[in-house]
């Protein structure tokens, strides 16, 4: 396996793309309210990316081998939808939880990040799923340093999510990212400490755990993209793009409005 190490120039460009992706989420956050459709959220984000940022929405017409082109500019995954939800005429209602996944291309480089949003007033169980998933992502990020392994990242995420009574989706994973949307390596969100590839400074990849309230099994809808939980339990996901530095990690998908790293004091 050849994991490409980014040059200082490439890292600088990835920082810009990462910040821009996060700023799309800052922009859309106040719009995520009962009554709006996922299609309207897509349109607002699309116009912001294209007209304000001058970025390219990477999902639009993205077609990996075996897939039909993705028809929209962002992914909107509501409640039991795990990932890759296609925006459309679904109206968000109070109590929904929704993941908005943004990938922009700026000057040829990708930034990829997603957050969970509470619509109106979700149940305590739904909120807890979102919070545990956020913390699981961060526990994975905090493993990142030269010499750590991919298994260390996966294990930290799996241990916390399963220890909280939830399950980890196995079929989708984080990924290297750069000039291409999905590069090597694959970042599994489960695993054993000390196993797998060793991290080196200059690697850039995403960490994006999908956590189900019920069983880990998933199913793809007839649209060829949307992934849902088989048991219809709620699912949550958070995503950051992360750089391996000489001393640890640097999160590239940061902006004014991005939720802060959880403090140790708030550990559940
Ligand atoms: N943004 C997703 C990821 O984190 C990929 C979405 S592919 C799309 O890897 F085509 F559905 F947009
Ligand atoms: Co990603
Ligand atoms: Co993404």
Among the listed residues 37, 45, 28, the one whose alpha carbon sits nearest the alpha carbon of residue 116: 28
CATH number at residue 25: 3.90.230.10
Query: Is the Cβ–Cβ distance between 15 and 48 less than 8 Å?
Result: no
Distance 14 CA to ligand 2 centre (A): 14
* Residue nearest to ligand 1 atom 10, measured at CA: 59
Give the domain extent around 140.
8-267
- Tell me, using a 6 A CB cutoff, whether residue 75 lines ligand 1: yes
- Burial of residue 90 (CB within 10 Å: 0-12, 13-18, 19+) is middle
Query: Is the Cβ–Cβ distance between 167 and 211 less than 8 Å?
Result: yes
* The overall pTM is greater than 0.85: yes
Packed helices 8-28 and 38-47: angle between N→C axes, nearest 10 degrees: 130
Q: What's residue 136's pLDDT? A: 98
Q: Is residue 3 part of a domain?
A: no
Q: What's residue 264's pLDDT? A: 77
SS3 state of residue 264: helix
Beta-carbon contacts of 159 under 8 Å, excluding residues fewer than 6 positions away, are none
Q: What's residue 132's pLDDT? A: 98
Mutate to test the pocket of ligand 1, among 58, 68, 87, 236 (most ligand atoms within 8 A of CB): 58
Beta-carbon contacts of 14 under 8 Å, excluding residues fewer than 6 positions away, are 6, 109, 110, 111, 177, 178, 204, 241, 243, 252
Q: Is residue 2 part of a domain?
A: no
Length of the chain: 268
Q: What's residue 15's pLDDT? A: 99
Among the listed residues 23, 70, 31, the one whose alpha carbon sits nearest the alpha carbon of residue 258: 23
Q: Is residue 54 part of a domain?
A: yes
Phi and psi at 138, nearest 5°, equal: -70, -35
Q: What's residue 268's pLDDT? A: 56
Indicate the number of domains in the chain: 1
Mutate to test the pocket of ligand 1, among 24, 63, 75, 239 (most ligand atoms within 8 A of CB): 75
Q: What's residue 2's pLDDT? A: 75
Question: Which residues of the chain are modeled with pLDDT < 50?
Answer: none
Q: In ligand 1, which atom is closest to the CA atom of 64?
A: 10
Chain centroid to CA 241: how far? 8
Q: In ligand 1, which atom is closest to the CA atom of 84?
A: 11
**Residue 268: CA count within 13 A, CB half-sphere:** 14
Alpha helices in the chain (DSSP H): 8-28, 38-47, 124-141, 150-163
Tokens 């939830």 sit at which residue? 166
- Tell me, using a 6 A CB cutoff, whether residue 70 lines ligand 1: yes
Query: Is the Cβ–Cβ distance between 46 and 59 less than 8 Å?
Result: no
Q: Is residue 135 part of a domain?
A: yes
* Residue nearest to ligand 1 atom 12, measured at CA: 59
Q: Is residue 112 part of a domain?
A: yes
Q: How far lies 119's CA from each of 75, 81, 96, 151, 205, in Å?
A: 16, 15, 5, 34, 29
Distance 55 CA to ligand 3 centre (A): 15
- Tell me, using a 6 A CB cutoff, whether residue 112 lines ligand 1: yes
């Amino acid at each position: 396996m050849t994991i490409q190490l980014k040059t200082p120039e490439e890292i600088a460009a990835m920082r810009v793309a990462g910040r821009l992706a996060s700023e799309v989420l800052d922009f859309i956050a106040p719009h995520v309210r009962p009554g709006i459709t996922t299609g309207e959220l897509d349109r607002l984000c699309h116009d912001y990316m294209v007209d304000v940022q001058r970025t390219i929405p990477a999902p639009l017409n993205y077609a990996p081998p075996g897939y039909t082109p993705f028809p929209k500019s962002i992914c909107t995954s509501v409640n039991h939808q795990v990932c890759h939800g296609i925006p459309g005429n679904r109206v968000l209602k109070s109590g929904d939880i929704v993941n908005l996944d943004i990938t922009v291309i700026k000057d040829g480089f990708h930034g990829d990040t997603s957050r969970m949003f509470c619509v109106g007033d979700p149940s305590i169980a739904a909120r807890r799923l979102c919070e545990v998933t956020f913390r699981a992502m961060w526990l994975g990020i905090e493993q990142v340093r030269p010499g750590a392994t991919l298994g260390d990242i996966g294990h930290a995420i799996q241990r916390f999510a399963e220890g909280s009574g939830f399950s980890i989706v196995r079929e989708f994973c984080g990924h290297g990212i750069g000039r291409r949307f999905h590069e090597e390596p694959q970042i599994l969100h489960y695993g054993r400490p000390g196993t797998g590839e060793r991290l080196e400074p200059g690697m850039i990849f995403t960490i994006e755990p999908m956590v189900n309230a019920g069983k880990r099994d998933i199913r793809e809808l007839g649209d060829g993209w949307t992934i849902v939980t088989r048991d219809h339990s709620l699912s949550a996901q958070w995503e950051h793009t992360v750089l391996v530095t000489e001393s640890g990690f640097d999160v590239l998908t940061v902006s004014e409005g991005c939720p802060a790293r959880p403090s140790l004091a708030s550990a559940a």
